[in-house]
Amino acid sequence: MATLPQTPDQLRTAFGPHLNLAPPDGWDADPVPDRLVETHCCFCGQQCGIKLKVKDNRVIGFDPWEEFPFNKGKLCPKGVKRYLQGNHPDRLTKALMRTPEGFREADWETAMAHTVAKIQEIQGKYGKDAFAVLSGVSLTNEKSYHVGKFARLGLQTKNLDYNGRLCMVSAGAGNKKAFGLDRAANSWEDIEGAEVIWVAGSNVAECSPITTDYIWRARDRGAKLIVVDPRITPLARTADLVLPLKPGSDSALTNGILHLLDTWNLIDRAFIENHTQGFEETLSAVKDCTPEWTSRMTGLPVAAIEKAARMWGEARTSFLLHARGIEHQSKGVENVLGCINLVLATGRIGKPNCGYGTITGQGNGQGGREHGHKCDQLPGNRDIENPEHRKYICDVWGCTDEELPRKGQSAQEIMNAIHAGEIKGLLLLCFNPVVSLPDNQFTAEALSKLEFFVCLDFFASESAQYADVILPSALHEEDEGTSTSAEGRVIKINKAVDPPGDARPDWVILNEIAHRLGRGKYFDHFTSPEAIFNELRVASKGGTADYYGITYEKIERQMGVFWPCPSLDHPGTPRLFEGGRFAHPDGKARFVPTPWRPPMEVVDADYPVWLTSGRVVFHYLSGTQTRRIGWLVEQCPNPYLEIHPKLAERYGLKDGDAVEITSRRGSLVLPAKVVMTIRPDTVFIPYHWPGNLGANRLTARHLDPVSKIPEFKVSACRLQKTTPDRIPAELRELQRMAFEARTNQAALPQRVF
């Protein structure tokens, strides 16, 4: 049997982005670390504590951090293997510049001088806003804050946004409308005492595995579990009630439940009268949402809808969680508000063992949307168009209102403008839009039209392949800073090792670009992440996301601090809204009507099958990191089409057969995976893969009108059985590699130093 290539060059040639290396010659089989570094996982918004083992400036393993209060030593498969990425042969250690023959290594001075000259050329020719910045929310709070300030005062452009636009912006917009503040209402500790837990559009066990432990502990105490999702996810298989609704019908369900809560008098009228506004208007909007109507809209039985209303309405304590399933829609904000209406109607929010929260997908999805690298936002979750907010930040930054750009375009709108030729230059960091934006062929076309494109990254992602210059940046463990978990807990990332070669932290690179552009006066004092954080604290002071009372020392002493924390002697706020006071000026929460409207795209005779997408436990987002960790690749080497047996029978499909999936954007061919755990009118594709394997070849660029989030979770498609030879060559290569790894373990190294 053939073995897999073993040298770096052979790995890159065969399928480089997917493997890691064996230990270098001369290393012990089980080296003793020089030290342990307490830090956090680089992946999802749970931000689990972990201790990294370090030897000779390499991360060689991990120990559980059992004292950290959130995960108490537990980790998911990605957390267990996250330490392997840092020594992958694809790691960028030198600047790369595009030539007619491809990328070549360049010295730092040459690459940086060229980058700055091209920025000046484009802005001089087309104006400041012709250069855009797209960043990501796996960045620390310090880097997120720095990116926002850099774009506006360094590049002087309004066109700045972030990949949190693909994550939690619908939740953020709904939270601000309803509560006046954007954060989970509780720490996850309140889940354990809830009598009923409602999970909507969240594959908790695969996307947020440690949150599953909180739900299981509640279940051990007798809690009932309701799961709403078109798929019977692993968590749903343990639920008391599963509501596998039609994709895109979430607001119809919450409207129908609210109608029943009122009809059966299962609402807290005293709470509603004393602590909320807008209930009568919201009730009027659901007056016709009878169980029969709700059943027609959602495809759920009337009895199941009524059972859900009883369970939720009669509980004494409850906790509602949701995630991308309801938010990745062109009416994501309405779906979020529909959930909040159920929470407010029962009047339990703000009380012990009760709560509401959004399960954050990205590492710093919460903190990343608070401090200024959104197109419409200033630090502290301030509004960039609010004159008072602008004045405060101008005073902190030492600039005038005229110097501070106004609201720019969102991530997808920026890509649309690039495609249209309106934006000519792009700086990209911690974002892989070719994989993660919808309609990815459109995205690839857009990036290829740029006059200049500079990318900061630690691996050459699929998007970086379109860049003119790639600047090597630092991994998570190669810098320090803070991050904010899904709960609203601000935690500390500690540096474990130095970046290799010419790689350096993003904030250092941005500082240098700003200085070369003659804008260094705004960044001279940014000499360390802590210096940036101390300005962030001041910039956030008095905002709804107030970090002023949080310091590095306090975070480490308390093992995290929940914001808002307005003063140094304030302990932080794990549970919001106690006593029924909300963040609106009058202290009252808002009910917001969510009249039913269908998704932007619905099934029809030409495209009769619903298509949705999501994550698997072994991979993270666009896969730039997890597709470079061999063990994770081995567990789930390739995408597939999840399909119900009834639908498979209609198309003559068996497990493993090749099937062509076609939407109005394009087609791809994948193997079928026949399962009982999905609606018979719906198919599912995990989206972590690029190019011919990318689910986002099929998804649409429809946006929520408020949050501007794309509608990843609801598309229409058609299916056709095809021949195995049409399965993309790269998928077959992945399958072959995984098979050989399982049958010849020496072929796929598991240890990296």
Query: Residue 339: which CATH number?
Result: 3.40.228.10
In a domain, 141, yes or no: yes
* 418 Cβ contact list (under 8 Å, min separation 6): 132, 426, 446, 447, 449, 450
pLDDT per residue over 312-347, tens digit each? 999 999 999 999 999 999 999 999 999 999 999 999
Task: For residue 105, give the 3-state DSSP assignment.
Answer: strand
Domain boundary, last residue among 358, 386, 406:
358
Give Cβ neighbours of residue 7 (< 8 Å, ≥ 6 apart): none
| 392 pLDDT more than 80 | yes
Residues 66 and 149 in one domain: no
Query: Tokens 């093992």, residue?
Result: 559
In a domain, 516, yes or no: yes
Task: Give the number of domains in the chain.
Answer: 4
pLDDT value at 16 more than 50 = no
Residues 401 and 257 occupy one common structural domain: no
The rounded distance, in Å, linking the Cα atoms of 368 and 382 is 13
- Both 644 and 737 in one domain: the answer is yes
Q: Which of these ranges, 2-6, 10-14, 442-446, 686-690, has the smallest mean pLDDT?
A: 2-6
Give the residue among 196, 209, 231 at the shortest CA–CA distance from 79: 209
Count other Cβ atoms within 10 Å, centred on residue 527. 12
User: Is 742's pLDDT higher than 80?
Assistant: no
**What range defines the domain where residue 65 resides?**
8-87
Pair of tokens at residue 106? 């360049």
pLDDT at 674: 98
CATH code, domain with 397? 3.40.50.740
> Cβ(162)–Cβ(138) under 8 Å?
no
Does residue 271 register a pLDDT over 80? yes
Distances (CA, A) of 736 to 7, 634, 642, 669, 741: 19, 10, 21, 17, 8
Say if residue 337 is in the same domain as residue 198.
yes
Residue 744 has pLDDT above 90, yes or no: no
**Would residue 13 count as lying in a domain?**
yes
Q: Check if the beta carbon of residue 748 is closer than 8 Å to that of residue 20.
A: no
Residue 19 resides in a domain: yes
142 and 224 co-located in one domain? no
The reply to whether 77 and 114 lie within a common domain is: no
**Is residue 629 domain-shared with residue 735, that is, in the same domain?**
yes
Mean pLDDT score, 255-280: 98
Q: Which residue, among 422, 428, 427, 384, has the nearest Cα to 406 in the 3D structure? A: 384
Whether residues 376 and 432 share a domain: the answer is: yes
- What span, in angstroms and rounded, lies between the C-alpha atoms of 103 and 115? 15
CATH number of the domain bearing residue 25: 3.30.200.210
Domain edge (last residue) among 28, 55, 87: 87
Q: Indicate whether 17 pLDDT > 90.
A: no
For 603-702, strand residue ranges (E) read 609-614, 641-643, 658-662, 667-674, 682-686
Degrees, nearest 5: CA angle 169-170-172: 60
Flag whether 584 is in a domain: no
- Asked if residue 566 lies in contact with residue 572, where contact means CB atoms within 8 angstroms, the answer is no
**Mean per-residue pLDDT, 182-198:** 97
361 vs 521: CA distance, rounded Å: 36
| % of the chain beyond a pLDDT of 70 | 94
Spatial CB neighbours of 184, under 8 Å, sequence gap ≥ 6? 355, 356, 357, 358, 366, 486, 487, 488
In this prediction, residue 7 has a pLDDT band, given cuts at 50, 70 and 90, of very low
- How many other CB atoms are found less than 10 A from the CB of residue 501? 13
In a domain, 564, yes or no: no
HSE-up (13 A, CA, CB side) for residue 167: 30
Q: How far, in whole angstroms, is CA 217 from its chain's centroid?
A: 26
- 17-32 in b/e form (b: 16+ CB < 10 A) is bbbbbeeeeeeeeebe
CA separation for the pair 311, 303 (Å, rounded): 12
Q: Is the pLDDT of residue 96 over 60?
A: yes
Examine residue 568 and state whether it is found in any structural domain, yes or no. Answer: no
177 and 163, same structural domain?
Answer: no
| 741 — pLDDT class (breaks 50, 70, 90) | low
Within this chain, do residues 180 and 159 fall inside the same structural domain, yes or no?
A: no
Q: What is the mean pLDDT of the chain?
A: 93
Kindly calculate the radius of gyration of the chain based on its CA atoms and give it in whole angstroms.
25
pLDDT, tens only, 540-552 = 999 999 999 999 9
CA dist 179 → 173, 174, 190, 230, 639 (Å):
10, 8, 19, 28, 39
Check whether 458 has a pLDDT greater than 80: yes
Cis peptide bond N-terminal to 564, omega within 30: yes
Residues in the chain: 753
pLDDT at 28: 54
How many whole angstroms separate alpha carbon 515 and alpha carbon 503? 19
Final residue of a structural domain among 308, 338, 358: 358
Closest CA to 753 of 8, 6, 18, 27: 27
Do residues 437 and 508 share a domain?
yes
Q: CATH number for the domain including 614? A: 2.40.40.20
User: Are 84 and 17 a contacting pair, CB within 8 Å?
Assistant: no
Asked, for residue 272, whether it belongs to a domain, the answer is yes
Q: Which residues are CB-neighbours of 369 under 8 A, at least 6 positions away? A: 137, 162, 164, 168, 169, 172, 182, 377, 381
Both 312 and 374 in one domain: the answer is: no
- C-alpha closest to that of 345 among 518, 198, 142: 198
